[in-house]
Amino acid sequence: MLGSQERFLEMYELGMWQANCYILGDRTLQRAVVVDPGQDAFQMVLERLAANDVTCEAILLTHGHLDHVWSTPQLAEKLDVPVFLHPADRWLWDDPAKAFGNFPPGVLETQFGLTWHPTGDRLQDLRDGMRLTCAGMKVEVRHTPGHTPGSSVFLMRDGDPPVLLSGDLVFAGSVGRTDFPRGSFEEQNDSLRRVVLPLDDETRVYSGHGPETTVGVERRTNPFLRALI
Ligand SMILES: [Zn+2]
Ligand SMILES: [Zn+2]
């Protein structure tokens, strides 16, 4: 996995929205990176980092929706790491309730029991084409707006097979919803055409929800991708 025996990828489906949180790491380097720590991820991530004997270097966010960011401020403080998010989703980081439309102020506390304290000073901007090295792995960032304006995916081409962490852009058999505030069906289709369709068949896709799949399987069977070919 990921090009080396010592590299690992763990996937956990968590919280009321059943969002996938990922921990990718290298046991030789004893380093890891956490992607999308949403609801109920705090304790689980700490336990898995300890079990793998790795230190977290950074938190990467595919987008600003609450099901993917819920535990991030608390976890970033605890681990003392930077948080990478595309600046076009900064409005969601500042107030995740904006994803629900015109909800009254305080809805996160009253509806979900969440006290949101975003720590802006830990935020670092993701940019299209940016290359990060996380836990010894080369990570290519692609900006893929549509589901949200700042939606981004993470591509690791140096492993065998290559890996795409796709957030809510594409799922096994489906694609992201675009009916949330500031979503765009056209932009999402453009992102799918530009970023997902050119990838090799064997590229493994780890989405924000649901099981893993491959680009080849989705190209052949996903009706939303087939419509773009
Ligand atoms: Zn989402
Ligand atoms: Zn989601």
pLDDT in tens, 179-191: 999 999 999 999 9
Report the pLDDT value the prediction gives residue 118, as an integer from 0 to 100.
86
From the centroid of its chain, how far is CA 87? 15
Q: Rounded CA gap, 114 and 119, in Å?
A: 15
From 33-42, 100-109, 207-216, the region with the lowest mean pLDDT: 100-109
Task: Assess whether pLDDT exceeds 70 at residue 87.
Answer: yes
Would you state the pLDDT for residue 68? Answer: 98
Rounded to the nearest angstrom, the distance between the alpha carbon of 229 and the centre of ligand 2 is 25
Mean pLDDT of the chain: 95
Indicate the pLDDT class of residue 160, thresholds 50, 70 and 90: confident
Centre of ligand 2 from the C-alpha of residue 129, in Å: 23
Q: How far, in Å, from the CA of 98 to the mean position of ligand 1?
A: 12
The rounded Å distance from CA 28 to ligand 1 centre is 33
Find the 153 Cα to ligand 2 centroid distance in Å: 13
Q: pLDDT (tens digit, 9 = 90+) per residue, 132-157?
A: 999 999 999 999 999 999 999 999 99
More confident residue, 118 or 13: 13
Given a cut of 80, is residue 4 above it in pLDDT?
no
**CA distance from start to end of the chain:** 30
Cis peptide before 162 (omega within 30 of 0): no
- What band does 3 get if pLDDT is binned at 50, 70 and 90? low
pLDDT for residue 219 is more than 70: yes
pLDDT of residue 105: 77
Q: Quote the tokens at residue 113.
A: 């029991």
In the chain, the DSSP E strands lie at 7-14, 19-26, 31-35, 55-60, 83-85, 123-125, 131-134, 137-143, 152-156, 163-167, 170-171, 174-175, 204-207, 213-214
- How many whole angstroms from 77 Cα to the centroid of ligand 2? 23
Instruction: Read off the DSSP letter of residue 199.
Output: S
Q: Measured between alpha carbons, how far is residue 25 from residues 100, 154, 160, 224 in Å?
A: 33, 14, 15, 32
Q: What does the pLDDT look like over 17-65, one tens digit per residue?
A: 999 999 999 999 999 999 999 999 999 999 999 999 999 999 999 999 9
- In angstroms and rounded to an integer, the radius of gyration of the C-alpha atoms of the chain is 17
Q: How many helices (H) and strands (E) does the chain have?
A: 8, 14
1, pLDDT greater than 60: no
Strand partners, 21: 12
Residue percentage of the chain with pLDDT more than 90: 88
pLDDT confidence tier of residue 5, bands split at 50, 70 and 90: confident
CB 24 within 8 A of CB 100: no
Query: What percentage of residues in the chain have a pLDDT greater than 70?
Result: 98
Rounded CA separation 225/223 (Å): 5
* Residue 153 CA, ligand 1 centroid: distance in Å: 12
147: CA distance to ligand 1 center in Å? 7
Q: Per-residue pLDDT averaged across 198-203, rounded?
A: 97
